[in-house]
Amino acid sequence: MIASEHARPQPVRISRGGWLDILRFVAGALIILYHFREAAPTPLGQFHPVFDRGYLLTNFFIIDSGYVLSRIYGDGFAAHAIPLHAYVRQRFLRVAPSHLMVVGALALLIALAGLFGIAPSNPQWFDWGQLPAQVFLVQAYGVPGGLGWNAPTWTLSALLGCYLVCAL
């Protein structure tokens, strides 16, 4: 009997840029439009009901991302070949730079507008007390501050938690 007959079949590696990435791109674009729908010149839901249900795509995006990550990192975690700190650092660096740029730009915009006497149209969204929770992405864990500034980042906050759970 040949040893390879008893070997566990290895899953096919997921290539970057494949159909799962296309699905995540489409879901991400529709999620952005969902969050934009209130500020759009014409209600986007008039064009198609999918624009009013973008919250469902957030769930799909996170599930799809988890599947991709488990396929990419699963064997490495099972074999203890990937150090947890390296994985967490890599995932954090994937999310943090663009998040910090957007939150920083929003804070600068609101501060400069305030210097010129221009108040935001929804001042409750830009309470300076909510900014730390937004910056540190802890608003998905019951820390006050998830309703303002860049409110959709609660998903990034939750995603960072999912990254940690995935590694365990």
**Between 9 and 154, residue with greater pLDDT:** 154
- Give yes or no: residues 24 and 37 share one domain: yes
Q: How confident is the model at residue 7 (pLDDT cuts 50, 70, 90)?
A: low
Q: Of 82, 110, 133, which residue constitutes the final position of a domain?
A: 82
Identify the pLDDT of residue 112: 95
Mean model confidence pLDDT for the chain:
82
Q: Cα separations (Å) of 23 from 2, 17, 18, 59, 60?
A: 41, 10, 9, 13, 9
Q: How confident is the model at residue 11 (pLDDT cuts 50, 70, 90)?
A: low
Q: How confident is the model at residue 8 (pLDDT cuts 50, 70, 90)?
A: low
Q: Which residues contact 106 (CB under 8 A, 6 or more apart)?
A: 126, 149, 150
Number of compact structural domains in the chain: 2
**Between 115 and 125, residue with greater pLDDT:** 115
The tokens 């490495």 sit on which residue? 76
- Give yes or no: residues 131 and 160 share one domain: yes
The pLDDT of residue 48 is above 60: yes
Q: Which residues contact 149 (CB under 8 A, 6 or more apart)?
A: 103, 106, 107, 125, 126, 130, 131, 134
Identify the pLDDT of residue 6: 58
Mean pLDDT value of segment 22-39: 83
Identify the pLDDT of residue 115: 94
- Give yes or no: residues 78 and 119 share one domain: no
Whether this prediction's pTM lies above 0.75 is answered by no
Q: Is the dihedral of CA 28, 100, 136, 118 positive or negative?
A: negative
Q: Of 50, 82, 114, which residue constitutes the final position of a domain?
A: 82
- Give yes or no: residues 107 and 157 share one domain: yes
Choose among 143, 114, 138, 115: nearest CA to 126.
Answer: 114
